Chains A and B, each alone.
Chain A
Amino acid sequence: MLGFGVLKGLAVTIKHFVETYIDDLKYFPHRYSEEAMESRQSVNGRGIFTVQYPEQELTHPETFRYIPFLVFDEDEDSVYEGIRCTSCGICAKVCPPQCIWIVRTKDADGRPIPQPAEFYIDIDVCMNCGYCAEFCPFDAIIMDHDWKLVDYDRFDGHIHDMERLLKPASYYQQIRPIQYAENNLDEDEDKDGH
């Protein structure tokens, strides 16, 4: 029958329309509770699954990567001493678009010291690929979760320098607990062993 195919299709849209409200009713009156949110976003979710950004936010998994940052250990005397980076340069060399610039520190005689004197990441070039973090032997550069970087001007904030890049190890632990545990507990054991 002509028109039956269209009607069949419309039945699908009506089903979707009804389904939209199932979760709403299920969690009534706490439609936007955390529990409701989780269920909507899961693979079993059926109803409307809009995230009410900015009131709510879609959480990202631990592996999520945005712009990299540098880790410093807080138990050292100063931030500078806590910097894990040894300025070995692997991240700068493996970076596909070459957006990392590092100046190695030198002592009075001109011999290199394993500390970065300057460290820049140009976030207008960075492609968020995560190689710097993947190949860093010291767990010193980590892909951040912070994607809220929107601004009105690109010339005063898009070249991230050391000051902007350094974040404490506790932050690292907070955003990537599993990776932190894997990489840092081993190190602690090593320290005990020596």
Chain B
Amino acid sequence: MTVEVSSKSEATTIPEELQRNVLITGVDSVYNWGRMYSIWPMVFGLACCAIEFIVAGTARYDMARFGAELARASPRQADLMVVSGTVTKKMVPQIVRLHNQMAEPKYVFAMGACATGGGPFKEGYNVVSGIDKYLPVDVYIPGCPPTPQAFLQGLIKLQEKIKGQSVTQVPWYRKDQLNEAIPIPVLGPDIFDPRQVETIKEELVKQRAQETQAETAVEEAKEAKATEAKPKKKGIAKALKVPQWDITPTEEAQTLADRIHQALGEGAVTLEKDTLVVDPARLIQVGEYLRDAEDLAYDLLSNVTGVDYLGRDPRFEVVYHLYSTSRGGGPLVLKARAPVGDPQVPSLTSVWPSADLQEREVWDLYGIRFPGHPNLKRILLWEGFHGHPMRKDYQEAYYEEPVKPFNSRWPGGHHELAESKNPYFKNVVYPTEWDLDAWTPVEEILAVVDAKDLPRTGMRTEKIVVNMGPQHPSTHGVFRMVVTLDGETVVDLEPVVGYLHRNHEKIGERNGWLMNMPYTDRLDYLNSMGNLGYALAVEKLLDVEIPERAEYLRVIMAEFNRVLSHMMMVGFLLNELGAAFTPLFYAVKERELILDLFEEASGSRMMCNYMRFGGVAHDVSQDWLDRARYLARERLPRKLDELEQLLSDNEILIARTKGVGVVPPDVAVAYGITGPLLRAVGVPYDIRRVEPYGIYDRFDFQVPLLYNGDLYDRYLIRILEAREALKILDQALDQIPEGPIFGGKRAWQLRVPAGDVYGRIEHPKGELGYYLVSNGAGNPWRYRVRSPSFINLTALAEMCKGHKVADIITILGAIDIVLGEVDR
């Protein structure tokens, strides 16, 4: 392929007298040749695109051929910053700081649609419309995500640019052109760029004037009750229909309710269908009863979420999904309601610690307080953020309409950039009453534990608080841990998330039902075939028949995904142990072959968008099946053996992992841990078994169990599970029948009957659940993702306490998180 040298390159601007200077051109060609083939990228990734960036460094694409394989963890040693993925407001200050720390010459790539111009998450309240709003960008790589080859094309393009530079012209040798550091954006009520202070002040004055005008108009209109009704800038265009559905109690629920009434007295719960609506004042009592009664034993609080029923009283609802790990079966749903004003529901952290992070999320997004919560502060956004964005009446800067499709797109769809309509040309909105002069940013309070918790070591050391992340080579993305250390021993740890909070759920409520499918791909971007859970949840409400072939294809894809995910997890874990890249490269090679199958079946390597309500998107060919059989029966078992031979007996691995990060089974369940982690402590809880979905009941497979619960078991259980997945694949590929792949009519517009539903699957990382509320319209009223990565983090502190700082990274690696899913 040919790449044209940009006409804007600096070579053309060499002054007359120098143009014939052979010496300079000679020096230039050597100077540029050296720089072109030694572009060192920074180890820095934000989201999905970062995976493709990493993969560009592995065997198939081999960035080393361009001399760019030397990825540096420190910005001070790096030449190239690849902004790969969605840039969130919470992350921007960090990115700008890193950029400022890079020495000249430095280059910036905007990789992927999000980094280039906002991407599919552009409308979100925490998303920046392109990194070029904050940093100068050299090369843009469009695509969602760009393929690794596209990344290499970007690299070549950068080389072309470097080739066009001259040592006499480049700014970094000229005193008069020295680059000033870029002012670091500050997190206020919304993110603000210090360069825009004057504009913001002016705009706020205008905004205030408009509002007073409007207010006086309202006051004049109705004199009596003035203060409450503040006129909104943009009203909600289409009236939203509050969801309502048949709530006749089921018999089973009635029996349970009667029992609770007997034990705790009348009025503790009321019934709606199979749901217990609990009196908030007695929530903890009811929780304790459900957990402790022997034949109920609801020990796993799986999902906690809020719902805003705007237009109903009481307006807010907190929904809890309970399971029993000993009995299996479906969920018990509890609901607690709170009115508008100062909504409060008592915290359940004392009954089930797994409520910890989730209640904080509900507080953050809905503004429902949980009295009794030990650490109730914002989690996905930052302290000081204005408003609670998941509330139905919250409108972000790029708000257009409550639901898609937007009317502005058709039939009169003159293209207009969202930022051009915003007074700040950015995705920001500031509260009118904000006084910029009197305001100081909220300091993040670091949790420092009391000295009495310290185990006595004999040596007197001082406690220090260390921030790991959000930019750290081993945190699997933009994840931060505030670690309190006593010497090298971890005393306390607090996970700080939200650096990739892409407002998935808010956008999901605006999207049509089908539109959410490709968005779910971007949750756990390593496992986009595993997002079957969403399809299953919607199908529960829709009641469609899924053809046999489609059922088999779903299982095949999901299990291939499990193998892929577990192999990648092992690769990354070994990276974190310091066995840099060999196991990862072996894993990525197999991943590439599986992705080839995915790409052929679905059209995309990573963002498969393969599941549909009622089937799958595309059929596969006979040749595809043959290759899949070869992979599942011959190649992958061999490769798993190889991986085991490489690692399982390795003394260093054993020394680093045995006995590290152990949590007892009961604690693991209490913290809501699911998936391989839970099975590594000996709790036989696999959703494919305890509440089978799809056609999993037809296959002969085992649920591997290990009992030590340390890192070594967490490593080994992945290998064992991958083997079981291959067993399922073997059977599925054998039994797959011919036939249609889609039940019913393929409709782009879908109305889903009113109701609420929770669908879950055994995702490679744990229980992936979708809690959906429908009001019978074309888009979900509530779209909640119960992500295993996020909830498994609840126990991170428990796992790390008492271990050395070097173990934190491996413990985190063994949990196997994907930040897209943690932060959503």
| B-binding residues in A (CB < 8 A) | 2-6, 8-9, 11-13, 16, 41-44, 48-54, 57-58, 60-61, 63-67, 87, 89-90, 92-104, 112, 118, 120, 122-131, 134-135, 143, 147-154, 158-159, 161
Decide: B631 and A16 in contact? CB cutoff 8 A.
no
Complex Cα distance, B252 from A145, in Å, reads 54
A150: contacting residue among B153, B586, B748, CB under 8 A: B153
- Nearest-neighbour CB distance to chain B for A121, whole angstroms, equals 9
Closest 8 CB pairs of A and B: A124-B117, A5-B649, A101-B413, A129-B518, A96-B515, A89-B410, A97-B120, A104-B411
Please state if A94 and B409 are interface contacts (CB–CB under 8 Å).
no
Knowing A49-B59, A53-B152, A124-B118, the reply to whether A150 touches B157 (Cβ < 8 A) is: yes
Residue in contact with A49 in the complex, picked from B60, B146, B147, B646, CB distance below 8 Å: B60
B604, chain A: closest CB distance, angstroms? 6
Instruction: Determine whether the beta carbon of A92 is less than 8 Å from that of B413.
Output: yes
Instruction: With A63-B599, A127-B518, A154-B116 as known contacts, state yes or no: A48 contacts B59, CB within 8 Å.
Output: yes
Q: Mark B40-72, 1 if CB is under 8 A from A, else 0.
A: 000000000000000000011110010000000
- Does the CB pair B515–A128 fall under 8 Å? no
Beta-carbon contact of B154 and A150 below 8 Å: yes
Cβ of B200 under 8 Å from chain A: no
A143 to B609, CA, bound (A): 14
Complex partner residue of A152 from B65, B147, B153, B161, CB under 8 angstroms: B161
* A52 surroundings in chain B (CB, below 8 A): 65
Q: What distance in Å separates the Cβ of A106 from its nearest Cβ neighbour in chain B?
A: 9
Add 13 more A-B contacts to A63-B602, A97-B121 (CB < 8 A). Answer: A43-B627, A58-B149, A87-B410, A92-B410, A94-B749, A127-B119, A127-B144, A129-B517, A152-B6, A152-B8, A152-B157, A154-B130, A158-B116
Q: For B748, what are the chain A residues with a Cβ–Cβ distance below 8 Å?
A: 90, 93-94, 131, 135
Known A-B contacts A92-B413, A102-B413; A97 and B582 likewise in contact (beta carbons under 8 Å)? no
Report if B589 contacts A (CB, 8 A).
yes
Given known A93-B749, A150-B153, A154-B140, contact A125–B117 (CB-CB < 8 A):
yes
A131 to B602 alpha-carbon distance, docked (Å): 12
With CB as the reference atom, state the residue of chain A lying closest to B621.
Answer: A178
Is there an interface contact between A123 and B149, defined as CB atoms closer than 8 Å?
Answer: no
CB neighbours (8 Å) of A65 from chain B are: 603-604
**In the assembled complex, B414 has its CB within 8 A of some CB on chain A:** yes
A-B contact pairs, 19 of them (CB 8 A): A6-B652, A9-B650, A49-B59, A63-B600, A93-B410, A94-B515, A96-B519, A102-B409, A103-B413, A129-B607, A130-B603, A131-B514, A143-B603, A150-B141, A150-B142, A150-B157, A152-B6, A152-B161, A158-B117
Contact of A151 among B120, B157, B404 (CB under 8 A): B157
Assembled-state Cα–Cα distance A12/B647 (Å): 10
Q: How far is the CA of A142 from the CA of B723 in the complex (A)?
A: 39
Closest to A97 in B: B120
Q: In this complex, which of B65, B156, B405, B511 has the most chain A Cβ atoms within 10 angstroms of its Cβ? A: B405
A149, B153: Cα distance in complex, Å: 9
* B580 touches A (CB below 8 Å): no
Query: B122 contacts the other chain (Cβ, under 8 Å)?
Result: yes
Is A51's CB under 8 angstroms from B118's CB? no
* Residues in A whose Cβ lies below 8 Å from that of B677: none
Whether A43 and B593, one on each chain, are in contact in the complex, defined by CB atoms closer than 8 angstroms, is yes
Known contacts A43-B593, A67-B142, A151-B157: does B413 contact A97 (CB below 8 Å)? no
- Docked Cα-Cα span, A44 to B586, in Å, equals 15
Q: How far is the CB of B563 from chain A (nearest CB, A)?
A: 14
Q: How far is the CA of A154 from the CA of B603 in the complex (A)?
A: 26
Q: Distance (Å) between the CB of B232 and the closest chain A CB? A: 23
Residue B150 interfacial (CB < 8 Å):
yes
Q: Contact: A112 with B411, CB < 8 Å?
A: yes
Task: Provide the residues of chain B in CB contact with A53, threshold 8 Å.
Answer: 61, 149, 152-153
What's the nearest-Cβ distance from chain A to residue B619, in Å? 10
Rounded to whole Å, the gap between the CB of A38 and the closest CB of chain B is 12
Instruction: Point out the residues of chain B lying under 8 angstroms from A11, CB to CB.
Output: 645
Minimum CB distance partner of B415 in chain A: A120
Instruction: Tell me which of B110, B414, B518, B650 contacts A131 (CB under 8 A).
Output: B518
Q: B211 — which chain A residues lie within 8 A by C-beta?
A: none
Whether the pair A148, B153 counts as a contact (CB closer than 8 A) is: yes
CA distance A153 to B6 in the complex (A): 10
Complex CA distance for A90 and B747, rounded to whole angstroms: 11
Chain B positions within 8 Å of A125 at CB level: 113, 117-120, 122
CB distance from B791 to the nearest CB of A (A): 26
> What is the minimal beta-carbon distance from B646 to any residue of chain A, in angstroms?
4
Q: Which residues of B contact A118 (CB under 8 A)?
A: 413-415
* Chain A residues closer than 8 Å to B651, beta-carbon distance: 2-3, 5-6
Does B143 lie within 8 Å of A66, measured CB to CB?
yes
- Min CB–CB distance B53 → chain A (angstroms): 14
Hey, which chain B residues are within 8 Å of A103, CB to CB?
411-414
Q: Does any Cβ of A come within 8 Å of B667's Cβ?
A: no
Residue contact A8 to B511, C-beta cutoff 8 Å:
no
B139 interface contact, C-beta 8 A: yes
* B406 interfacial contact with A, CB 8 Å: yes
Contact A57 B405 (CB under 8 A): no
Contact: A98 with B650, CB < 8 Å? no
- The distance from the CB of B156 to the nearest CB of chain A, in whole angstroms, is 6
Question: Is B132 an interface residue when CB atoms closer than 8 A count as contact?
Answer: yes
Check B215 for interface membership: any CB of A closer than 8 A: no
- A150→B109 CA distance, assembly (Å): 10
**A16–B599 CA distance with the chains assembled, in angstroms:** 26
**CB-based nearest A residue for B650:** A5
Q: Which residues of B contact A152 (CB under 8 A)?
A: 6, 8, 138-140, 157, 161
Residues of B contacting A100 in the complex (Cβ-Cβ under 8 angstroms): 409-410, 413
Instruction: Note all chain A residues with C-beta closer than 8 A to B647.
Output: 9
Kindly provide the distance from the CB of A189 to the nearest chain B CB, expressed in whole angstroms: 22
Cross-chain contact B406 with A64 (CB below 8 angstroms): no
Which residue, of A44, A66, A127, has the highest number of chain B Cβ atoms within 10 A?
A127
Chain B residues lying within 8 Å of A5, measured Cβ to Cβ, are 648-651, 653-654
Is A9 a contact of B645 with CB atoms below 8 Å? yes
Question: How close is B741's CB to chain A, nearest CB, in angstroms?
Answer: 13
Q: Are A54 and B152 in contact (CB under 8 A)?
A: yes
CB distance from B61 to the nearest CB of A (A): 7
Contact, CB under 8 Å: B120 / A127: yes
Shortest Cβ distance from A4 into B: residue: B649
Looking at the complex, which one of A12, A64, A87, A89 makes contact with B645 (CB distance below 8 Å)? A12
* Residue B181 is within 8 A (CB to CB) of chain A in the complex: no
Q: How far is the CA of A2 from the CA of B596 in the complex (A)?
A: 40
Smallest distance from the beta carbon of A119 to chain B beta carbons, Å? 8
Question: Could you tell me if B149 and A122 are in contact, using CB atoms closer than 8 angstroms?
Answer: no
* Residue contact A134 to B617, C-beta cutoff 8 Å: yes
- Mark each residue of chain B from 197 to 236: 1 if its CB lies under 8 Å from any CB of chain A, else 0: 0000000000000000000000000000000000000000
